[in-house]
Structure 1
Amino acid sequence: MRIACAILLFTLMFATASAQYYLRGEIRDEKGNVLSNAKLKLQSSNLLYYSGVKGAFGIVSSKETDSLFISLDGYQDLAIKVEAGRYHIISLKMLYSAAHLQRNKLVSLTRNMQPEERKKHLFSGETYSTLVENEFVQARKYPETGFAIHADRAAYSNIRRFLNMQTTVPPDAVRTEELLNYFNFDASPLARDSIFGFRSYISDCPWNAQHQLLYLNIASRKIDSSEIPPSNLVFLVDVSGSMDMPNRLPLLKSSFKLLVDNLRNTDTVSIVVYGSTVGVWLTPTSGADKAKIRKSIEELYPGGSTPGESGIRTAYRLAKSQFIKGGNNRVILATDGDFNVGQSSEDELEKLITQHQESGIYLTCLGVGMGNYKDSKLEVLAKKGNGNFAYLDNEHEAEKVLVHELTQTLFTVADDAYLNIRFNSSVVREYRLIGFDNKAKALADSLNEVEGGEVGPGHSLLVLFEIEPVRPAGSDAYPTDEPVANLSINFRKPNESLRRITEYQVEANYSGFTELPKCYQFATSVVMFASLLKQSKFSHQFGWNDVIIMADEAHRKGDYMQEEFISMVQKAKKIYGKMRKRKNKE
């Protein structure tokens, strides 16, 4: 009997010791959105687990009640007890800095205009669109406006693709400032040791005799090759099935091989892929070993789904592991943007990339493809990832972005840069910022603010305002002894937290339109072209022929890009002319 009891007791003890319990639940944020890839450490075993694509977890434990230690970049760490037999909904609180960074931010902002008034003022157009074109603003009531300074150019080459396909351009694909950014206009003079230079002109407005155009030219300092820091580059390449087309993965492979030719011995390159698998394709390799890097690029092949979220996380982890203090740490994402596994909406991707915004790692996005190209997703990723983005429609564009403009594309001289201008209401009655149009979603956010941009070395940014001057009764002139506006550029140097401000005065230095430097006349034709493509209400006073004539008279002979622009306008004229004829017949 004693033996039987001992055996029973031993059996019960063994069963208790070897019992397994299943701990289940999911990780969410305070708004109820699922959080994938959260790190979960089980107290009883010290083993690590991660939440799945939908935030869910299932963990086997030897204890019926156990403790989890949960962590995720951008969120407060949490220790919590979990019980078997219950499904736990666990909420993580966002860190203050991350919550601040995830606000909907504006490309441009008129100061002191209340959200409800701004909405009424800016949503008065005839149709709703993602981008809301800037309207005229009274200088006396709202003298101050600001906008992000950035060097993105993706809209231009994307528009070129549409026109080369003999199709119209979606109005929301037209970002006027990116068309102007495409041309590096004559740089403004820089003071010694200054990051930015500035020049301004005021001239006639070709489409409204009562108005004038204010040109602001902001140039960033060039850097000598000896000043370029070593680079830690992670190529994050989309190798999913959707990339299996000549203008996608093959174009990217040839593009990256062009970039490899410019690598130095001090640079390090890694490759992460996502498609049928997510992983490190090329471990960190010196820029001196170009043959090995080229071979890895050449062996890339497409297939599988598009787990972009996992690819991004892997690329940033690898970039952090090779982080160069004071260096150029950058992930270069190359994709058609068609994420379909994991976090894939713009909001989810914004939240994902914001977690890495203060890591010191920049993000460059290279878009390719047609049909399912997700321009809006790449724009969100680039802006929230402290970076820039370009669209590669052909090898010539790849050479422009990754060879001729390599330093502008992959290096930074100013972070979180934005320009603030305060108009003198005794000189200017009304003004309209041309381009820098905001997303409707950002305009609806009552807590919004201007989101600064990142600027590469040696870039010349041109900004245009259409202004209505204050004219004394019975006079065609306006005061020239007063400044038109005061301007300030706010920015941080890379790897610094200190904000810097450079201030300028915008003088009333009027020039007749034909007396302007040719590059500014050409820039005006670019603005008019963008306005026609956007089907803007401000484009009713001119047509395609006006743009062609102005660009032809102002362009620099032998300049390939400017001559190509004229051919693009001519193509647009034919395409939109045919569309108008069809509408008239109908």
Structure 2
Amino acid sequence: MSRPLLLLRPAAQGFAVTLLVALAGCGLSSSPDVAKPVEPPPVAELQSAPVPATFAKRMAMPAPMQMQERATLDLRSEPREQYANLPDNPVHRVAEMPVSTFSVDVDTGSYANVRRFLNQGSLPPEGAVRLEEMLNYFPYHYALPTDGSPFGVTTELAATPWNPRTKLLRIGIKASDRAVADLAPANLVFLVDVSGSMDRREGLPLVKSTLKLLVDQLRDQDRVSLVVYAGESRVVLKPTSGRDKSKIRNAIDQLTAGGSTAGASGIEMAYQMAREGFIDKGINRILLATDGDFNVGISDFDSLKQMAVEQRKSGVSLTTLGFGVDNYNEHLMEQLADAGDGNYAYIDNLREARKVLVEQLSSTLAVVARDVKLQVEFNPAQVSEYRLLGYENRALKREDFNSDKVDAGEIGAGHTVTALYEIVPKGEKGWLEPLRYANAPTADGKSVELAMLRVRYKPAAGGNSQLIERPIANQSTPASDDLRFSAAVAAFAQQLKGDGRYTGSMSLQDTATLARSARGDDPFGLRNEFVQLVELAQSLKH
């Protein structure tokens, strides 16, 4: 896959090209990692290009300050984003491994990040595409709980749009929503990265506008602290009542960016502020706004994750809000939120900020169930093979399902969780070669069941885990708009990864057509926007 191209302003483009020629003329090799707006000529051609005498004379003179600043800006724009490249979940034979276990995931950051790449005119790197986060970005019409549990469970089985021999099993979870006014009092700590890497339009200015949207939603019983970090950390605002919105806004307005990034010390200070303003039986949460480019103090991945794991025991959760481009450490942001019992979102524009912190504020802040795990046991009399689409970094061992000591994902008020399995019905040709010595399973009285679904969770207030069990009937139906649209999202995520192993001959045009026909009721225009993104990707792949 080709590297994404960075779109530069015309003036910056001209300077970048001139800088490459100048370096070549000095006998220096140009770096292949410098982002360019167009495909450059071979380095050998650049090295043999003549350098105008007037420009060579300028090179011998000290560069004007303006040119130094522009050079710094262009070099800073070199892409160095960090992603976790995980292999897709493998295909399993039911006769050998009938049980699939994973933790739920309500994060949506991958979708907004992929959208950012496409809107800037480049295809996303493979590691930026996490299928489950793209699925869970969209609301679906799932049944609400009716039995006193914190969420309802829905299943649906229909034909797979990209493979006539398989079927898609969709599992949906829907938590009851709550009005913001009904939420418990909230103790929020805004932890803001004000380092030099945030000194760009997509960085601190967008962070400030985003936080002001949340300030507008605060109630008198809520309290807010503001901690910032660059080369060092400091408290800008001690715990302050939500009624004093002007004071909170003024504290946000004074933030400026510059310096290195001591992220770990900032996180430590934020937890200290959270403990100082702690509300018993309330919502206690840190909202970390950063590009994740930590470069001072504790910066290794495992130590930062362990810090979040230890601190969550105090009853304070950590939500990460990703900002920025080029130096964005998405891998750290997603994993920090997971370790801190929070959620992760990427904010690429103010509309996305409104979605996360206004329209879905209850989901973002209020947890209704903790350590939620899903387990599906497939019936070998009905299913020969299966694969779970996405959730690669949420996989659990079979024995983890019943262990209350194993951490899993949290579900907030109003959250929906969607999971898709592609299954091969018994008797259909699958992906795997048949085994010569395998014994065919014998049918029994439960042979009409496709699978058994188990959901284990802990109540938000604490206590031992509880179990929901539900058999899934082997009954295909005409696919609903929700299933057809989620299938289009899943197809798109797989197509963006480029290998087409599973989607076969299904094209991006087919994906756009399927999504367009399944938009249904789309009050916020999210599904229509998705169709446009698929069409953008199609044009970029040609």
TM-score range for the pair, normalised by the shorter chain length: 0.7 to 0.9
Alignment of structure 1 residues 472-511 onto 2, 5 Å = 482-511=448-477
Pick aligned residue for 2:124 from 169, 175, 187:
169
Counterpart for residue 79 of structure 2: none
Q: Whole-Å Cα distance in 2 between the matches of residues 428 and 129 of structure 1?
A: 32
Counterpart for residue 504 of structure 2: 540
Alignment of structure 1 residues 284-323 onto 2, 5 Å = 284-323=239-278
Deviations 1:36-71 (A, max 9, x none): xxxxxxxxxxxxxxxxxxxxxxxxxxxxxxxxxxxx
Q: Whole-Å Cα distance in 1 between the matches of residues 344 and 309 of structure 2?
A: 16
Deviations 1:101-141 (A, max 9, x none): xxxxxxxxxxxxxxxxxxxxxxxxxxx97211011111121
- One-letter amino acid of the structure 2 residue matched with residue 459 of structure 1: H
Counterpart for residue 156 of structure 1: 111
Indicate if the aligned counterparts of 1:132 and 1:439 stay in contact, CA closer than 8 A: no
Verify: 1:565 aligned to 2:530, yes or no: yes
Counterpart for residue 385 of structure 2: 430
Higher mean alpha-carbon deviation, 494-503 vs 392-401, is at 494-503
Verify: 1:189 aligned to 2:144, yes or no: yes
Pick aligned residue for 1:133 from 88, 92, 96:
88
Provide the secondary structure at the position in 2 that maps to 1:358. Answer: helix
- One-letter amino acid of the structure 1 residue matched with residue 452 of structure 2: N
Q: Whole-Å Cα distance in 1 between the matches of residues 427 and 151 of structure 2?
A: 33
Q: Whole-Å Cα distance in 2 between the matches of residues 552 and 184 of structure 1?
A: 16
- One-letter amino acid of the structure 1 residue matched with residue 491 of structure 2: M
Q: Report % sequence identity.
A: 40
Give the superposed CA RMSD.
2.4
| Cα distance, 1:569 vs structure 2 | 0.3
Q: Whole-Å Cα distance in 2 between the matches of residues 557 and 359 of structure 1?
A: 42
- One-letter amino acid of the structure 2 residue matched with residue 531 of structure 1: Q
Provide the secondary structure at the position in 1 that maps to 2:449. Answer: coil
- One-letter amino acid of the structure 2 residue matched with residue 554 of structure 1: A
Pick aligned residue for 1:248 from 185, 190, 203:
203
Alignment of structure 1 residues 322-361 onto 2, 5 Å = 322-361=277-316
Verify: 1:230 aligned to 2:193, yes or no: no
Counterpart for residue 520 of structure 2: 556
Q: Whole-Å Cα distance in 1 between the matches of residues 449 and 526 of structure 2?
A: 35
Q: Whole-Å Cα distance in 2 between the matches of residues 540 and 471 of structure 1?
A: 21
| Cα distance, 1:497 vs structure 2 | 3.4
Q: Whole-Å Cα distance in 2 between the matches of residues 165 and 129 of structure 1?
A: 22
Indicate if the aligned counterparts of 2:291 and 2:322 stay in contact, CA closer than 8 A: yes
Q: Whole-Å Cα distance in 1 between the matches of residues 224 and 237 of structure 2?
A: 8
Q: Whole-Å Cα distance in 2 between the matches of residues 532 and 225 of structure 1?
A: 38
Counterpart for residue 58 of structure 1: none
- One-letter amino acid of the structure 2 residue matched with residue 370 of structure 1: V
Q: Whole-Å Cα distance in 2 between the matches of residues 305 and 129 of structure 1?
A: 24
Q: Whole-Å Cα distance in 2 between the matches of residues 457 and 158 of structure 1?
A: 24
| Cα distance, 1:201 vs structure 2 | 1.2
Counterpart for residue 26 of structure 2: none
Deviations 1:74-98 (A, max 9, x none): xxxxxxxxxxxxxxxxxxxxxxxxx
Q: Whole-Å Cα distance in 1 between the matches of residues 513 and 159 of structure 2?
A: 17
Alignment of structure 1 residues 51-200 onto 2, 5 Å = 130-200=85-155
Q: 1:395–1:547: structure 2 CA closer, same or farther, 3 Å change rule?
A: same
Uncovered stretches (5+) of structure 1, i.e. residues with no partner: 1-127, 578-586
Deviations 1:432-456 (A, max 9, x none): 001112399x99xx9x997510111
Q: Whole-Å Cα distance in 1 between the matches of residues 291 and 356 of structure 2?
A: 17
Counterpart for residue 38 of structure 2: none
- One-letter amino acid of the structure 1 residue matched with residue 456 of structure 2: N
Q: Whole-Å Cα distance in 1 between the matches of residues 179 and 520 of structure 2?
A: 27
User: Is the strand fraction higher in 1 or 2?
Assistant: 1
Verify: 1:466 aligned to 2:422, yes or no: yes
- Work out the number of aligned pairs and report it: 439
Verify: 1:576 aligned to 2:531, yes or no: no
Pick aligned residue for 1:516 from 476, 479, 502:
479
Could you state the TM-score of these two structures normalised by the residue count of structure 1?
Answer: 0.72
Structure ranking higher on relative contact order (CA contacts 8 Å, 6+ apart): 2
Uncovered stretches (5+) of structure 2, i.e. residues with no partner: 1-82, 430-442
Q: Whole-Å Cα distance in 2 between the matches of residues 540 and 450 of structure 1?
A: 37
